[in-house]
Amino acid sequence: MQLPVVAIVGRPNVGKSTLLNRLAGGSEAIVYDQPGVTRDRLYLPAEWCGYRFQVVDTGGLVFEDSEQFLPLIREQVAIALAEASAVIFVVDGQLGLTSGDREVADWLRSQKQLPVLLAVNKLEEPSTALSLAAEFYALGLGEPFAVSAIHGSGTGDLLDALVAVLPKEQPEEREQAELRVAIIGRPNVGKSSLLNALVGGPHPRALVSEVAGTTRDAIDTLIERNGRRYRLIDTAGIRKKARVDYGPEAFSVSRAIRAIRRADVVVLVIDALEGAHDQEGNLAAKIVDQGRACVVVVNKWDALEKDTYTMNHYRERLREELNFVEWAPIVFTSALTGQRVDKIIEAVDRVAEQHQRRVPTAVLNEALQEALLWRSPPATRQGRQGRVYYATQIATNPPTFVLFVNDTKLFKEGYRRYLEGQFRSILGFEGSPLRFVFRGKP
């Protein structure tokens, strides 16, 4: 079973290549050399909220500048579209509707079995985007999506609509289906013990096999829980062997960073008796830099003397100490007794889901309005008031939002942090970093 193919069509210069690159998010191009087809076509893998597909650029095949839909070209497009599950038809919203667009639309409408999404591109100006896009209703292809391939705005809604018309079934792809979880922390906090507890776990069905990691400084262990596969990236394993010969090894930040890079979710382990120090703070900052989801585990909880308040106090203090990842869930475990070790996987599942979550534009802008009401954006001394017009989510893993504002200089760190806090309190996103991109008027 192959990944569904989405073909991008439209006249030259409407922004097809730009949109293709936006959707594929910098993936490596895969060029298939297909016999019987006159041309090699460019396929790019793309993903939206965990749904995988590929986009194919028909750029070289489509519609010459003559605005004439020549029979020969039509044949070529037909070949390109034969394998597509859906089409994104791109038009230029700044230029407006052209006769060439109408010709393409006529032909696409005759392809009854093929879902068509109409992307009205180059509409980065939010105040006029919807009215300019509305003109393209005339093509009779349903709702036009106002997008800007360059800025990314509107592409989230387009992708939602796209995924909705694509086949639900996805091919099994092991490498993709598994969740990569890095277990990092200083030496002796209990990483190996936790790994062993996870593997032995409360579910004896767990499938265990040790496979070599892509780097020599981590050992990957595959486990399966509730039908889901996890690749545990353990930075301690190799060191354990080395320790026999050389004694305990120094904490290697670069090794931890390599593990973070390979992971979807990072489990940052802390020794309950030692608490969090600079090194944990640095690791937390790296996790955010790399845009990874995070779960904090406070291990050796059995070794701590406790009363009823201990856990809450500990949690509060840790949130302050690890302020980079203050949004991360904290799990208190004992690898020694097995206490709450199973909660780690539950938390990993939860944050992974948030990491690839997408908020519809309407909901996002409601949250934005709410935040703006509670506290207006700052103004300059000359009375120039900061304004946020519109927000849109342009990526997942981690969730990334573009905010269109009148002047980016008016939005300093303080207000940006306020907005992130408001988004979190209204929309959630436990365990996932969020990214905000501010864009001023062009």
- The verdict on 252 binding ligand GDP (CB under 6 A) reads no
Q: Which is nearer to ligand GDP, 46 or 434 (CB)?
A: 46
Which segment (15-23, 130-138, 287-295, 384-392) binds ligand GDP by CB under 6 A?
15-23
- The verdict on 300 binding ligand GDP (CB under 6 A) reads yes
- Lookup: tokens for 382: 């000359």
Task: Give the nearest distance from C-beta 237 to ligand GDP in angstroms.
Answer: 8
227 conformational bin, left if phi > 0, alpha if psi -120 to 50, beta if neither? left
Cα–Cα distance for residue pair 217/430, rounded to 1 Å: 30
- The verdict on 121 binding ligand GDP (CB under 6 A) reads yes
Cα–Cα distance for residue pair 207/225, rounded to 1 Å: 9
Task: Give the nearest distance from C-beta 363 to ligand GDP in angstroms.
Answer: 24
Collect all residues with Cβ–Cβ distance below 8 Å to 417 and sequence separation of at least 6: none
* Burial grade of 111 (CB within 10 A; 0-12, 13-18, 19 or more): middle
Q: Which is nearer to ligand GDP, 194 or 367 (CB)?
A: 194
Contacts by 237-243, CB closer than 8 A, 24 or more apart: 237/192, 237/195, 239/187, 240/192
Q: Which of residues 312-351 bind ligand GDP (CB under 6 A)?
A: 334-336
- Lookup: tokens for 51: 């749904």
> Any binding-site annotation on 191?
yes
Task: Give the nearest distance from C-beta 112 to ligand GDP in angstroms.
Answer: 25
Q: Of 17, 6, 108, nearest to 55 (Cα)?
A: 6
- Out of 58, 299, 396, 432, the only residue in the binding site for ligand GDP (CB under 6 A) is 299
**HSE, side-chain direction, 13 A CA sphere, residue 412:** 4
* Burial grade of 296 (CB within 10 A; 0-12, 13-18, 19 or more): buried
DSSP class of residue 113?
A: T
> Any binding-site annotation on 17?
yes
Where helices occur in 270-360 by DSSP H, the ranges are 278-289, 310-321, 342-355
- The verdict on 187 binding ligand GDP (CB under 6 A) reads yes
CA distances in angstroms from 174 to 32, 178, 274, listed in the order given: 22, 6, 38
- Out of 86, 129, 181, 189, the only residue in the binding site for ligand GDP (CB under 6 A) is 189
- The verdict on 14 binding ligand GDP (CB under 6 A) reads yes
Task: Give the nearest distance from C-beta 194 to ligand GDP in angstroms.
Answer: 7
Q: Which is nearer to ligand GDP, 236 or 434 (CB)?
A: 236
Residues that contact ligand GDP, how many (by CB under 6 A) = 31
- The verdict on 396 binding ligand GDP (CB under 6 A) reads no
Q: Does residue 171 have a cis bond before it (omega within 30 degrees)?
A: no
Task: Give the nearest distance from C-beta 151 to ligand GDP in angstroms.
Answer: 6
- The verdict on 265 binding ligand GDP (CB under 6 A) reads no
> Any binding-site annotation on 315?
no
* Burial grade of 413 (CB within 10 A; 0-12, 13-18, 19 or more): exposed
- The verdict on 122 binding ligand GDP (CB under 6 A) reads yes
- Out of 58, 155, 193, 422, the only residue in the binding site for ligand GDP (CB under 6 A) is 193
DSSP class of residue 29?
A: P
- The verdict on 231 binding ligand GDP (CB under 6 A) reads no
- The verdict on 158 binding ligand GDP (CB under 6 A) reads no
Strand duo 51-57 + 30-32: pairing: unpaired
- The verdict on 191 binding ligand GDP (CB under 6 A) reads yes
- The verdict on 264 binding ligand GDP (CB under 6 A) reads no
**Residue 207: strand, helix, or coil:** coil
- Out of 3, 7, 9, 15, the only residue in the binding site for ligand GDP (CB under 6 A) is 15
Q: Which of residues 46-75 bind ligand GDP (CB under 6 A)?
A: 59
> Any binding-site annotation on 123?
yes
Q: Which of residues 345-384 bind ligand GDP (CB under 6 A)?
A: none
> Any binding-site annotation on 190?
yes
Contacts by 413-422, CB closer than 8 A, 24 or more apart: 414/378, 415/375, 415/377, 415/378, 415/386, 418/371, 418/375, 419/368, 419/371, 422/367, 422/370, 422/371, 422/374
> Any binding-site annotation on 187?
yes
The binding site for GTP comprises 10-17, 57-61, 121-124, 185-192, 234-238, 299-302
Q: Which residues bind ligand GDP (CB under 6 A)?
A: 10, 12-18, 59, 121-122, 124, 148-150, 185, 187-193, 236, 299-300, 302-303, 334-336
